Amino acid sequence: MTLQSSLTRGSERGQLAVITGLVAVPLAMIVAISVEMVALTAERSRMQSAVDAAALAAARQASLSMSSESISAYAINFANQQVTDLSPRLKINFTTRQGDKNTVEVIGLAHRDSFFGNLVPPGGFTIRVRATAESLNQQPLCVLGLRDRAGDSAISVNGNAHIQANNCLVHSNGTIRSAELGRVSAGAIATRFRVFGTGFSPAVNAGALMISNPFQSRQITARANCPSRNDNDKIVLDARGTFNLSAGVHKWHLVVTDQATLSLRPGDHYFCNGLRVEGAAALRGKDVALLFERGALVAEDAARLDLTGRATGPWAGFLVASDFSNQSNMVVSSPNVDKLLGAIYLANANLEIDSAGSVAEDSKWSVVIAQNVRLTGNSRLVINSDYIGSGVPVPVGVGNQSNSLQSGARLKQ
């Protein structure tokens, strides 16, 4: 091999190295950009899925809180939880907008660095996504368990008990529980925390927002001061026949027993120490509100209750209410409690039903707001929702006055 040929071959190899170097750089950039674009596409898809899911979740809750700020925080937190693994690579920000009361839009904006100090493309990559969802299946609020601790059941059905509220919302601010053959059937069922048991139709919407007490401002103050409590201060009605009781303040613990009937005259009845109906006695009243500063309504044995709530006045729409300081539970164990038309509001007490029959079945509508709603045995609480034409107006915040609470949602195109 001559010196000339060796120099020629060396020059060719050098030229090839230069060419290879010149080609390798753009090829590497193309490969890197291709890999980056694939990752960017995947990240955009994840961001879109996050805003879709958040919009749907927020729309389902849109009317469960009167505060748009609560809905916004809920949606943003929900979206962020979907993309926690992307946060090391992306700077992510979610915002929300609410249109009408049934529509929630979630907007996602993400930024990530690009090649060569964000020179290609200039400023880095930006991902913009949005989703809008609307609520469906509007349901009026008819049963609300107020106790809001994760470990407490605000609504529970045990044994063969059944809450039947076919066309309205049953909502627990705590957990909701069914045991043995206990069931809840409703237009929609929601709980803020966990679900225990399987006796629910439809499926429970877990993780719902808290529903604030719609009657928080309601306080019961009798028109005359109740005396200090003395359990021996009671009036017992035990003779066959009907006793009429005018509206006003009832200072003693009233017991209706044997075959007596207590007929409540129209108006507001303030009870200082509770009302018990037992034996084969009966309690009747139309256009009445039973307001308990202390004590509670108790129906035992074979007692019969036929009660229609207040039609006018400051307590219009209410049937039974207890003061916030009153922790006495309303108890229904009689199988003959057929009509409880109106709102039952136990601000800091429970509704306990252990009846062998149906409760409130003959009422055009009923609403229950209590710390806890507990059913045991073979009891069945029937919540009807025929609000129109009942003669008893529905209080604002519940029923068809509850801002049309939702049970479902869909994405809008």
Mean pLDDT of 262-291: 97
End-of-domain residue from the set 118, 135, 152:
135
Distance CA 3, CA 241 (A): 136
For 67-115, how does the pLDDT look when each residue is reduced to its tens digit (9 = 90+)?
567 788 889 999 999 999 888 888 999 999 887 656 889 999 998 876 6
Is 278 within the bounds of a domain? yes
In sequence order, what DSSP letters do the residues of 97-112 get, joined into one string?
Answer: EE-STTEEEEEEEEEE
Number of structural domains in the chain: 2
> What domain range includes position 68?
9-135
pLDDT surpassing 90 at residue 233: no
Q: 215: closest CA among 67, 353, 351, 314?
A: 314
For 299-335, how does the pLDDT look when each residue is reduced to its tens digit (9 = 90+)?
999 999 999 999 999 999 999 999 999 999 999 999 9
Is 284 within the bounds of a domain? yes
End-of-domain residue from the set 110, 135, 160:
135
Is 413 within the bounds of a domain? no
Distance CA 403, CA 284 (A): 32
More confident residue, 135 or 330: 330
Distance CA 220, CA 371 (A): 17
Query: Crossing angle of helices 3-61/68-82, nearest 10°?
Result: 150
According to DSSP, the residues that pair with 145 across neighbouring strands are: 172, 370
92 and 190 part of one domain: no
For the chain, the C-alpha Rg in angstroms (whole number) is 33
Distances in whole angstroms, Cα of residue 94 to Cα of each of 72, 78, 123, 129: 10, 10, 20, 10
pLDDT of residue 406: 46
117 and 172 part of one domain: no
pLDDT surpassing 80 at residue 14: no
36 and 173 part of one domain: no
In the structure encoding, which two tokens stand for residue 169, read together?
């919302």
Is the CB of residue 184 less than 8 Å from the CB of residue 176? yes
More confident residue, 183 or 22: 183
pLDDT of residue 65: 46
Please state, for a pLDDT cut of 90, what percent of the chain lies above it: 59
Distance CA 43, CA 192 (A): 31
For 349-362, how does the pLDDT look when each residue is reduced to its tens digit (9 = 90+)?
999 999 998 999 99
Own/partner long-range contacts of 256-263 (Cβ < 8 Å, ≥24 apart) = 256/281, 256/282, 256/283, 256/303, 257/281, 262/237
41 and 174 part of one domain: no
The mean predicted confidence, pLDDT, of the chain is 86
Is the CB of residue 148 less than 8 Å from the CB of residue 175? no
Q: Where are the alpha helices (DSSP H) in 62-125?
A: 68-82, 115-118
pTM for this structure?
0.73
Determine how many CB atoms are found less than 10 A away from the CB of residue 159.
Answer: 15
Distance of CA 325 to the CA centre of its chain: 24
160 and 107 part of one domain: no
Q: Determine the 3-state secondary structure of 367 from DSSP.
A: strand
118 and 184 part of one domain: no
Q: Which residues contact 225 (CB under 8 A, 6 or more apart)?
A: none
End-of-domain residue from the set 104, 135, 166:
135
237 and 344 part of one domain: yes
Is the CB of residue 251 less than 8 Å from the CB of residue 274? no
pLDDT of residue 150: 81
126 and 53 part of one domain: yes
Could you tell me the pLDDT band of residue 40, with boundaries at 50, 70 and 90? confident
